[in-house]
């Protein structure tokens, strides 16, 4: 199962979230404490103009292109709902009992929309950071927090460290929206 990370905010050394954290993305790729099965890595969304040049068939690429087709640029939440509806409808038409299982993030450079959803209602984990001013108040002596700007947001499959309050779990069938104002959760829909 893939472990992944999305970041938005001020420029940051990539190693701050990929390598240096206690439970960095690299550490998770080797041993995922919250993962349900063997960890692997595949798939990244790509620019639509590159679609004819795809060499692989990863589900994340297909899902991303379906979301673009369903209006991702104009209304990410509605596009993700329409995309999941399509995946579930086609899956069920082909006898797949639980066609959708995933965590998804899309971003436009200012906002991250992060979805946790599965048809079965038992998705893999998804977390996001609390806002940086709150984290700094909770941990005023944590020098490492100086690397992060006021508008930094991290969305990740599982927390990057064990400090209480730094990461909030996204509930099942929920979309987390993180922007300059902070974050909020919206119900995606009930599991089918």
> Contact at 8 Å (CB) between 128 and 114?
yes
At residue 89, does pLDDT exceed 90? yes
At residue 154, does pLDDT exceed 90? yes
pLDDT of residue 49: 67
* CA 81 – CA 183 distance, rounded (Å): 20
pLDDT of residue 2: 72
Would you place residue 44 in the very low, low, confident or very high pLDDT band (cuts 50, 70, 90)? very low
**pLDDT single digits (tens) 15-34:** 888 778 777 776 777 666 66
**Which of 126, 124, 113 has its CA nearest to residue 186?**
113
At residue 35, does pLDDT exceed 70? no
Spatial neighbors of 177 by CB under 8 A, at least 6 apart, are 77, 111, 112, 113, 114, 183, 184, 185, 186
Greatest Cα-to-Cα distance within the chain, rounded to the nearest angstrom: 56
* CA 119 – CA 113 distance, rounded (Å): 19
Alpha helix ranges (H) inside the chain: 15-18, 25-30, 59-69, 76-93, 132-138
**Which of 79, 76, 83 has its CA nearest to residue 59?**
83
């Amino acid at each position: 199962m893939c472990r992944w990370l999305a970041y938005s905010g001020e420029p940051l050394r990539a190693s701050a979230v990929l390598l240096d954290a206690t439970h960095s993305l690299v550490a998770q790729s080797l041993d995922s404490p919250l993962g349900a099965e063997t960890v692997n890595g595949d798939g990244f969304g790509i620019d639509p103009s590159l679609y004819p040049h795809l060499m692989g068939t990863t589900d994340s690429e297909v899902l991303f292109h379906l979301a673009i087709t369903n209006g991702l640029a104009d209304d990410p939440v509605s596009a993700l709902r329409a995309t999941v509806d399509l995946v579930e409808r086609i899956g069920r038409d082909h006898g797949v009992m639980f066609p959708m299982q995933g965590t998804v993030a899309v971003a436009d450079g200012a906002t991250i929309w992060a979805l946790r959803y599965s048809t079965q209602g038992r998705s893999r984990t998804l977390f996001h950071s609390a806002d940086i001013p709150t984290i700094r108040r909770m941990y005023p002596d944590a020098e490492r927090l100086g690397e992060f700007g006021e508008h930094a947001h991290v969305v990740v499959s599982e927390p990057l460290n064990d400090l209480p309050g730094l990461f909030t779990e996204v509930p099942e069938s929920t979309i987390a929206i993180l922007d300059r104002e902070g974050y909020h959760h919206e119900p995606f829909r009930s599991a089918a």
